[in-house]
C-alpha cells in the first residue's frame, strides 16, 4: 500500500435522505443542501436549497432521490450533487475530475447491494475520485472521541484515536437506527430499526392539525416548520397532557408555557410563519393582533415527538425507541452491554426537539439493570452535522483510519466493482 498516492483534498459527504451535509476537512461546518427537487404552485421546478428563497412555498411538491431510505434515483441525485458542488461548495475543478480528492460517503445501513454498486460506479467512473470509503454514518462517530467524551461528561484520559464501545441512535428523516459500534466496526447483529422518522412525525402533525383546525394536507413545508418550532418532549407525558387538555377546555386566555400561538403565513409579512411570543404581543396593537391568523397548539406539541417513544398513540402497532434501544443492547455480546449503555450518542435531526435526551435517559434507567451506568450524549446544535464532523476526524487519523479502509481508483480499476462490495458491504 505504500506506493499508493492519496489525494491532497479530503471531502466528506453525509448523504442523508433529508439533507446533504458536504464539506472539505478543515472547515468548521459543512454546507447543508436539502436533498430534493421541488415543484412550486406555478409548476416550476427548483433544486436543493433554492426552495429557501421561494416567495411562495404553499403547496410545493417534493421529490427526493431516496425511497424508504434507499438511494434509488441517481439521475436525480447527480443533479443535486452537481448543484451543491458548484453552487454551494464552489469546487474549482471540473466535475468529472476529482483526481486529487479523497471521499468519505455515508449510506444507510443494509443498503440494497445493487444500489450500493451503482453508488460505487458513479463515484469512480463519473466523478473520478482518488480514493473512497463508503460506510453507515454511525461507524464514523467513535472517531469523534473528544466531542463524545465531552457530551458524556467523561473526563478520563483520551489515549486512543477512537472509543471502543459506542451505541449510536440515528433518528433521521426516514427512520431511526440503533447501531452498536464495537472496536470501530458496526456490530451488524445488534443493529435495530424503528420505522419512524421525521417524515412520519410531520405526517402525524399534519393529520392532527387538519383534523382539528385548518386543512394543511398540502402544506408540507409549513407543517415541518410548525413541528420544528413548537414541539417538545414531555418528561411526564400523562401529567402534561391532562394539564394541556384542561387548559384547552377552560377557554381562558391565559399565558401559559403549555400553549403556543403560531402565526400562519400570509405571504406578505412572513412566508414560513412564526411563534407569537409575549414580547411580540406587547409590541403589536389590538387591531394588528386581530388580523393575524393564529393557530393555537396544545397537546399536539408533545404528542408528535412522543410518537417516537410510544407509536401506539397513532394506532401503530410497533415498539418504541426505548424498547428498540434495549433490544439492540440485548442483541450485543454480553460483556459489551454495560459499555454500550454507558456510551450512547444521539444524532439526527429529530433530536433537535428539546427534551429528548432527558426523557430517553429516564426511560432507559427504568428498564436497564441497576449496575449499568447509563449515559447519553447529545449535541442539540450539531446533531445533524455530527456525522460529518466525525468523518473529518477519520481523515485526521489518516494512517490508522482512512488509508486502511479506503479503496483507491487503481484498486477499483484492477479489481472491479465487486471488490467494493466485498470491502464495504455488511457481512451478516
Partner 1 sequence: MSFIEEIPKGYKTSLYYSSLYGGTGAKKPFYGDDSQKENAKSFGGRNSRYQQVVNYDVAVLEANAHGQNNNDGSTAEMKATRKSNKRLLELDRENYNEHQLAKIEVPKEGFDYFGNSSKNLNVMNKSGRRFKLGSTPNTKRILSSKKNLNNYLDEDTSNILKIWANLETRDNTNQINAVPELKTCSICGNNSSYTCVRCGTRFCSIKCGDTHNETRCSNYAV
Question: Distance between CA 189 and CA 336 in Å, rounded?
Answer: 13
User: 198: which residues sit within 8 A by CB, 6+ positions away?
Assistant: 18, 171, 172, 173, 227, 349, 350
Q: Which is nearer to partner 1, 318 or 375 (CB)?
A: 318
In the complex, the smallest distance separating the C-beta of residue 18 from partner 1, rounded to whole angstroms, is 10
Of residues 149-188, those binding partner 1 (CB under 8 A) = none
Total number of residues that touch partner 1 (CB under 8 A): 87
Exactly one of 58, 99, 154, 199 binds partner 1 (CB under 8 A); that residue is 199
Which CB, 324 or 390, lies closer to partner 1?
324
Q: Which residue among 316, 362, 396, 419 contacts partner 1 (CB under 8 A)? A: 316
The residues in 368-427 that bind partner 1, with binding defined as CB under 8 A, are 417
3-state secondary structure of 24: strand
User: Judged by CB, which is closer to partner 1: 153, or 315?
Assistant: 315
CA 228 to the chain's CA centroid? 13
Instruction: Cell numbers for 129, please give them.
Output: 475520485
Q: Nearest approach, Cβ of 225 to partner 1 (angstroms)?
A: 14
Q: Which of residues 103-132 bind partner 1 (CB under 8 A)?
A: 110, 112-115, 118, 121-122, 125-126
Q: Give the three-state DSSP class for 12.
A: strand
Judged by CB, which is closer to partner 1: 37, or 152? 37
The rounded distance, in Å, linking the Cα atoms of 142 and 381 is 19
Residue pair 271/57 in contact (Cβ under 8 Å)? The answer is yes
Give CA–CA dist 137/387, Å, rounded. Answer: 6
**Complex with partner 1: residue 168 or 208, whichever CB lies closer:** 208
Q: What are the b/e assignments for 136-146, b being 16+ CB within 10 Å?
A: bbbbbbbbbbe
Q: For the chain, how are helix, strand and coil distributed in percent, rounded to 5? A: 40, 20, 40
How far is 40 from 369, CA to CA, in rounded Å?
A: 52
Binding to partner 1 (CB under 8 A) within 20-79 occurs at: 37-39, 45-47, 50, 53-55, 61-64, 67-68, 70, 72-76, 78-79
Q: Is 303 in the site for partner 1 (CB under 8 A)?
A: yes
Quick one: which segment of 130-138, 195-203, 262-270, 354-362 binds partner 1 (CB under 8 A)? 195-203
Residues 318-357 that bind partner 1 (CB under 8 A): 318-320, 322-324, 326-327, 330-331
Instruction: Tell the smallest beta-carbon distance from residue 177 to partner 1 (Å).
Output: 9
Could you tell me the end-to-end alpha-carbon distance of the chain, in angstroms, rounded to an integer?
28
| Contacting residue, 6, 24, 91, 218, with partner 1 by CB under 8 A | 218
Amino acid at each position: 500500500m505504500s506506493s499508493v498516492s492519496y489525494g491532497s483534498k479530503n471531502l466528506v459527504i453525509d448523504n442523508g435522505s433529508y439533507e446533504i451535509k458536504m464539506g472539505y476537512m478543515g472547515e468548521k461546518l459543512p454546507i447543508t443542501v436539502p436533498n430534493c427537487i421541488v415543484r412550486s404552485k406555478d409548476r416550476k421546478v427548483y433544486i436543493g436549497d433554492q426552495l429557501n428563497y421561494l416567495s411562495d412555498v404553499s403547496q410545493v411538491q417534493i421529490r427526493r432521490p431516496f425511497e424508504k431510505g434507499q438511494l434509488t434515483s441517481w439521475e436525480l441525485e447527480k443533479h443535486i450533487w452537481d448543484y451543491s458542488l458548484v453552487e454551494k461548495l464552489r469546487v474549482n475543478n471540473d466535475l468529472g475530475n476529482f483526481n486529487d480528492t479523497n471521499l468519505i460517503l455515508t449510506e444507510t445501513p443494509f443498503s440494497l447491494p445493487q444500489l450500493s454498486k451503482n453508488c460505487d460506479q458513479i463515484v469512480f467512473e463519473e466523478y473520478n475520485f482518488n480514493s473512497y470509503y463508503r460506510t453507515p454514518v454511525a461507524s464514523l462517530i467513535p472517531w469523534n472521541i473528544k466531542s463524545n467524551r465531552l457530551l458524556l461528561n467523561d473526563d478520563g484520559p483520551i489515549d486512543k484515536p477512537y472509543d471502543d464501545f459506542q451505541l449510536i441512535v440515528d433518528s433521521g428523516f426516514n427512520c431511526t437506527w440503533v447501531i452498536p459500534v464495537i472496536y470501530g466496526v458496526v456490530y451488524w447483529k445488534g443493529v435495530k430499526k424503528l420505522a419512524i422518522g421525521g417524515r412520519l412525525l410531520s405526517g402525524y402533525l399534519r393529520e392532527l392539525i387538519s383534523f382539528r383546525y385548518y386543512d394543511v394536507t398540502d402544506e408540507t413545508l409549513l407543517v415541518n416548520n410548525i413541528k420544528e418550532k413548537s414541539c417538545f418532549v414531555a418528561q411526564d407525558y400523562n401529567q402534561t397532557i391532562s394539564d394541556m387538555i384542561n387548559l384547552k377546555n377552560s377557554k381562558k386566555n391565559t399565558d401559559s408555557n403549555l400553549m403556543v400561538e403560531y402565526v400562519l403565513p400570509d405571504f406578505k409579512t412572513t412566508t414560513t410563519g412564526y411563534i407569537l411570543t409575549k414580547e411580540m404581543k406587547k409590541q403589536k396593537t389590538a387591531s394588528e393582533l386581530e388580523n393575524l391568523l393564529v393557530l393555537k397548539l396544545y397537546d399536539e406539541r408533545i404528542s408528535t415527538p412522543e410518537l417516537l417513544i410510544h407509536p401506539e398513540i397513532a394506532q401503530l402497532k410497533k415498539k418504541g425507541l426505548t424498547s428498540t434501544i434495549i433490544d439492540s443492547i440485548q442483541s450485543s455480546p454480553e460483556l459489551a452491554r454495560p459499555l454500550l449503555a454507558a456510551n450512547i450518542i444521539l444524532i439526527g435531526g429529530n433530536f433537535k426537539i428539546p427534551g429528548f435526551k432527558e426523557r430517553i435517559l429516564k426511560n432507559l434507567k427504568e428498564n436497564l439493570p441497576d449496575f449499568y451506568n447509563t449515559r447519553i450524549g447529545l449535541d442539540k446544535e450539531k446533531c445533524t452535522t455530527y456525522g460529518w464532523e466525525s468523518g473529518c476526524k477519520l481523515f485526521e487519523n489518516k494512517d490508522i483510519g482512512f488509508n486502511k479502509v479506503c479503496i483507491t481508483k487503481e484498486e477499483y480499476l484492477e479489481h472491479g466493482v465487486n471488490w467494493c462490495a466485498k470491502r464495504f458491504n455488511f457481512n451478516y
